[in-house]
């Protein structure tokens, strides 16, 4: 039997749900509710409006931290990839920040800057920035020097070099950083919310944890994963496809 390609993700998802259902029926009870129970919890939260509110707040924090982390990461990663001096000077800092535990950054941010929105978003971004720098630095190192020379001979402006030489070259790197970034960032945002915010998915999960409402916890997780999947397929991938149009063979173009 031939299964259409597009159905594979659905099949794979159905398999996961099936396994979950079996595990829940076998030894679940309160600790592992069935998918049905989670769906009910989801409906309950959606109806009260709590789901939309907390998802929205968390999503905004994720996006703010994401944009901040990517732009700072690119702005610092490019010079480090292009200039050996810059790399030697700041490379050790990078190792330091890469190995700084997320929890430490978050706690310190709250201690130093108070329990504010800026501290929360900033702390999340700081957790992602070193990783973005590492990726972008590696990407910037591999640029074709011939194209740089060409840009110099034709006196392209700095802005044009950035837009038409450097950034297109870095596009796959930035896409990779964005992919891994989105997943990492939303996980850290939850911790930030749990420790020092009065709303958001992380805050809500903390409440549900105190009442031992596992169905509710899973409902929020599933909902947010769905939002991230939507971003991945609805936004990131179309942008990536557009950026890599030139790679496709002529027959497809």
Residues that bind another protein (CB under 8 A): 144, 146-147, 149-150, 152-154, 156-157, 160, 164-165, 168-169, 171, 243, 245-247, 249-250, 253
Pick between residue 30 and residue 247 the one whose CB is nearest to another protein: 247
Q: In angstroms, give the least distance from the CB of 146 to another protein.
A: 5
Among the listed residues 183, 205, 184, the one whose alpha carbon sits nearest the alpha carbon of residue 193: 205
Within 8 A by CB and 6+ apart from 236, the residues are 175, 178, 179, 182
- Token digits of residue 203: 């805050």
249: left (phi over 0), alpha (psi -120 to 50) or beta: beta
Q: In angstroms, give the least distance from the CB of 174 to another protein.
A: 13
Pick between residue 147 and residue 191 the one whose CB is nearest to another protein: 147
Q: How far is CA 30 from the centre of its chain?
A: 31
Q: What are phi and psi of 151, to 5 degrees?
A: -60, -35
Q: In angstroms, give the least distance from the CB of 235 to another protein.
A: 20
The answer to whether residues 179 and 231 touch, using CB atoms and an 8 Å cutoff, is: no
Pick between residue 32 and residue 165 the one whose CB is nearest to another protein: 165
Q: In angstroms, give the least distance from the CB of 70 to another protein.
A: 19
Q: In angstroms, give the least distance from the CB of 165 to another protein.
A: 7
Pick between residue 26 and residue 154 the one whose CB is nearest to another protein: 154
What whole-number distance in Å separates Cα of residue 176 and Cα of residue 234?
A: 16
Pick between residue 165 and residue 191 the one whose CB is nearest to another protein: 165
Number of other residues whose CB lies within 10 A of the CB of residue 27: 9
């Amino acid at each position: 039997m031939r299964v259409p390609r597009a159905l594979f993700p659905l099949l794979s998802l159905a398999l996961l749900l099936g396994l979950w259902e079996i595990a829940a029926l076998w030894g679940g009870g309160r600790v592992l509710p069935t998918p049905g129970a989670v769906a009910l919890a989801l409906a309950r939260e959606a109806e009260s409006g709590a789901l939309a509110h907390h998802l929205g707040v968390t999503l905004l924090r994720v996006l703010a931290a994401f944009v901040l982390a990517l732009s700072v990461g690119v702005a610092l990663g490019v010079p480090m990839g292009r200039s050996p001096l810059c790399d030697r000077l700041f490379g050790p800092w990078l190792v330091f920040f890469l190995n700084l535990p997320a929890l430490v950054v978050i706690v310190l941010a709250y201690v130093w800057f108070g329990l504010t929105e800026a501290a929360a978003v900033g702390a999340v971004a700081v957790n992602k920035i070193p990783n973005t720098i590492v990726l972008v630095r590696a990407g910037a190192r591999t640029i074709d020097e011939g194209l740089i020379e060409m840009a110099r001979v034709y006196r392209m402006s700095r802005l044009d070099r950035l837009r038409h030489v450097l950034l297109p070259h870095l596009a796959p790197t930035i896409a990779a950083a964005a992919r891994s970034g989105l997943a990492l960032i939303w996980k850290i945002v939850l911790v930030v919310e749990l420790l020092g915010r009065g709303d958001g998915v992380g805050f809500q999960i903390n409440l549900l944890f105190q009442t031992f409402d596992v169905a509710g916890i899973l409902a929020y997780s599933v909902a947010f994963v769905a939002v991230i999947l939507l971003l991945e397929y609805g936004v990131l991938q179309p942008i990536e496809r557009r950026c890599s149009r030139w790679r496709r063979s002529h027959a497809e173009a």
